[in-house]
Structure 1
């Protein structure tokens, strides 16, 4: 009975964590609407956004740490957190996730005019969110999503470490990640599913969320890094 209550508590934790993340997204994606709704200026909004970010991240990470204290058969999040072997896994994953993403985009015929509904929505949001958009997409979102879709997910549905649970967890974690990014289940879910599987593999192979978070951050930041690199090259040859 105790295990059942713990399991139900974990599911409730996932729901609360995801709901908190969705609320936090509103601060970053719709700042001008919040200014009008709360009758505050932009400076005050930034302060509220910073406070909300700290509270939400602290809450989500607290849920993750609490679950690990109750049961941690995998040995997740053990010290020391950094070593050469896991850094090599992360380096390999950075290459793999880029190659896999662009290969699938070519195979599925994805172009700038033919993107997923999720990406189209983000493109529209980026135009009105201003300077708050990039920090959310490149830093906050990877931390929240890795904690929810990898950390809390494995602690809830695949608590016992084994080869079978590892690969089943990778597949199902990847699918849930893909579905949340493409709930219409179009061809684009294949890309999100593959990316989710790679991130889950990084987490289960390193047994530390830091590595999947950094991989996720790099992938989300790649378009902006390429823009910066392109500008640097153009300025060099002027």
Structure 2
């Protein structure tokens, strides 16, 4: 009985440590985007270009450091047939195309409210097109997939084991944290991000390759701004 309690306590401590690590890394990633967000409120093309370049540099440094310290192995290509890889990518692209169309329609009719994250993106689109496209199409997919798929899932499985229950919990936490980071005000506004998280996480787990989920994420964001 004592050993059982000790095991539960150790797992709880490990979960809290993982949670705090994830929150800290998410906050750090958000800090790297501050210069880009500042371009919304500042005038002058040169200033906006410099702040955009600073953001790109900080994001590259962030991805490099997180990969080096926590999830270097996620960049390794696992053994998978070309046909299976293409099928997984096709599933991801088609799923995101349908999901983006459905989300846009639901927002247009007012059933799904616009999130704070979307408002910031809309402001960037109006005030800094260069920074907007860099962030949405390139920066966000890489850093977000690295955090929510590469770091969270792998760290969770290494900590709690590779059982079906552990993998299922890692899947759920990956989706929930991904949706939460996009600042939804209501349960309905979180729905599109939850479904996106489900697709990205499925693609990552099935392919075993972070590059595949990054490409699907890039495609989804590109569709979203067209």
Give the shorter-chain TM-score range: 0.7 to 0.9
Partner of 1:186: 187
Give the Cα–Cα distance (whole angstroms) in 2 for the partners of residues 4 and 110 of structure 1: 39
For structure 2, the 5+ residue unaligned runs are 1-10
3-state secondary structure, aligned to 1:184: coil
Contact map agreement 2:145 2:210 (CA 8 A) in 1: yes
Listed as ranges, the matches of 1:54-65 within 5 Å are: 54-65=57-68
Assess if the C-alpha contact under 8 Å between 1:117 and 1:182 holds in 2.
yes
- The aligned counterpart of 1:89 is 88
Tell whether the 8 Å contact from 1:24 to 1:56 is kept in structure 2 after alignment.
Answer: yes
TM (norm. structure 1) is 0.72
The answer (yes or no) to whether the contact 1:7–1:156 under 8 Å persists in 2 is: no
Alignment of 1:22-101 (within 5 A): 22-31=30-39, 33=41, 42-43=45-46, 46-47=49-50, 49-68=52-71, 76-79=74-77, 84=82, 85-101=84-100
Could you give the per-residue CA deviations for residues 149-199 of structure 1, whole angstroms, max 9, x where no partner exists? Answer: 211211333333333333332222111111222342331211110111110
Deviation at 1:80, TM superposition (A): 6.0
Distance 1:83 1:55 in 2: 35
- Mind listing any 5+ residue stretches in structure 1 that lack a counterpart? 36-40, 227-238
Counterpart of 2:5 in structure 1 is: none
1:91 offset after TM fit, Å? 1.6
Match of 1:235 in 2: none
Whether the 8 Å contact between 1:90 and 1:202 is mirrored in structure 2 is yes
- Aligned counterpart, 2:216: 215
Using the TM superposition, give the Cα deviation of residue 129 of structure 1 relative to its aligned residue in structure 2, in angstroms: 2.5
Question: Does the residue aligned with 1:99 lie in a helix, a strand or coil?
Answer: helix
Give the whole-Å Cα distance in 2 for the aligned partners of 1:77 and 1:135.
22
Structure 1 pair 212–100 and aligned structure 2 pair: CA distance change class (3 A): same
> In the aligned structure 2, how far is the partner of 1:42 from the partner of 1:100?
35
The equivalent residue for 2:177 is 176
TM-score by length of 2: 0.75
How many residues are treated as equivalent by the alignment?
212
Q: 3-state SS of the aligned residue for 1:182? A: coil
- The alignment partner of 1:116 has SS state of coil
* 1:105-164 alpha-carbon deviations (Å, 9 max, x no partner): 65xx43176642232342233212332111111110111111112112113333333333
Determine the structure 1 residue equivalent to 2:125.
126
Distance 1:208 1:80 in 2: 7
- State the Cα RMSD in Å: 3.4
Deviation at 1:33, TM superposition (A): 4.1
Shift of 1:32: 5.8
